[in-house]
Amino acid sequence: MGSESVKVVVRCRPLNDREKALSCKMVLSMDLQRCQCFIEKPGAVDEPPKQFTFDGTYYIDQETEQMYNEIAYPLVEVRIQRDNFAYGQTGSGKSFTMQGVSEPATQKGVIPRAFEHIFENIQCAENTKFLVRASYLEIYNEEIRDLLGSDTKQRLELKEHPERGVYVRDLSMHTVHSVGECERIIEKGWRNRAVGYTLMNKDSSRSHSIFTIHLESCSTDSSGQDHLWAGKLNLVDLAGSERQSKTGATGERLREATKINLSLSALGNVISALVDGRSRYIPYRDSKLTRLLQDSLGGNTRTLMIACLSPADNNYEESLSTLRYANRAKSIQNRPRINEDPKDALLREYQEEIKKLRALLTGQLSTADLSTLLAGQFSESSPAVPSRPQSTPTEEKKEKIKEEYEERLSKLQAEYNAEQESKAKLQEDIAALRSSYESKLSSLEKAQASRGSSVPKNGNRTPCANNRTKLFCRWILPIG
């Protein structure tokens, strides 16, 4: 699976009571059709508004339901790691977007909608078993805490594993079976999260939080073979960037704001290094937040970033900074892949390529698709073949292309058939081995019975039981 960019959308909330009391004017506007956002500098009459284009724009009268259906739904639908996170200044509506409210139903947040979406898919799946687990943590003053643990103030450590990647040691995992259980867990974690009062927000989040849903499934195909895959969905609610002059933060609140701004600055540096393309070193280790989001930024995930904005003129600098931040994130390239059994992945890739080649041979591919396919194939298997122009190939070139692809098709088909034959032979060997073992065991029991001995029911070993063990080891162990 190829690389794809991080998807970025922006959402603008209405003016709040504080901004209305200050008689603030709106400096933010959007073109919803072109997904463009415009911001005007207060007092600069002759200066044209700054323009930004994103994957989606949502203005003050648009609801969370519409945003989820258009942007988040396709990400939750696929079977790979997904990450949704909200970014913006304090009081811009990040927690409202992620958590939402129960009434009206159209303003239910991204997190509860993801719960409903996942369990709807589980109920519709046939011949498939699922295991769903959840974890909830926060990063407060650069310390990781388990919001669902017995001691929510305990400091947890970050570790790194060659296969698992970066993870939190001793983070509690909770098995869930329904939407209701997920909602109860997140409500419990939300009550344990660090919040505080500032002049800009009476319930300001003083920590970054990450709610993770771990999903594993085992499906059975028509031939009775089991196929395993695993994925996870990270739902991240970042604390807002702050200016002490506006929030009036002092003492402990000021220390919290300093840690928040430092981690968000580290996140910005990571984004800049990823977008730059020339940086050999990506500063993931500068903060706990960037280490935990390492897969989300340039890793094995599909990522959606929701940038939340205030439309008020007194927040112009913060809103402009958020827009620039989000605009840089658009250029990050991730390489998502399905986390499944390697043999299943190989067979699936063969089948997909065979399907493409058959479509090519029957003339179902367009010229653009043909050029893309050729560019990918010749770069891997035939480096000496020069790249072809985008124009329509001649009849002679078409015949040559067909011959090359027929040869590759037959090779892939032969590899696929060999794999299937190997599986069938293995099943036959196992069946023959089981039959031989049962035959030997039956003969041994008959011989033992003819000598008048029997196997006691109390479980003590007899010569017959020892012979069985030896026979079992002789026939079964060579398989491994």
Q: Give CA–CA dist 304/295, Å, rounded.
A: 13
Q: Do the Cβ atoms of 85 and 198 come closer than 8 Å?
A: no
Give residue for tokens 């060579």.
478
Report the amino acid identity of residue 57.
T
Q: Give CA–CA dist 23/314, Å, rounded.
A: 10
Q: Do the Cβ atoms of 28 and 34 come closer than 8 Å?
A: no
Q: Is 299 annotated as a binding residue?
A: no
State phi, psi for 173 to the nearest 5 degrees: -120, 135
Q: Give CA–CA dist 31/313, Å, rounded.
A: 19
Q: Do the Cβ atoms of 111 and 96 come closer than 8 Å?
A: no
Q: In Å, how far from its chain's centre is CA 477? A: 40
Q: Is 90 annotated as a binding residue?
A: yes
Q: Give CA–CA dist 316/229, Å, rounded.
A: 46
Q: What is the CA radius of gyration of the chain?
A: 30
211 forms beta bridges with 136, 235
Q: Is 277 annotated as a binding residue?
A: no
Structure tokens at 413: 């088909």
Q: Is 94 annotated as a binding residue?
A: yes
Q: Is 2 annotated as a binding residue?
A: no
Q: Is 91 annotated as a binding residue?
A: yes
Strand 333-334 with 4-5, pairing = antiparallel
Task: From 36, 35, 13, select the one nearest 24 (Cα to Cα).
Answer: 13
Q: Is 88 annotated as a binding residue?
A: yes
Q: Is 175 annotated as a binding residue?
A: no
Structure tokens at 78: 């696929």
Give the residue numbers of the binding site. 88-95
- Binding site residue list for ATP: 88-95
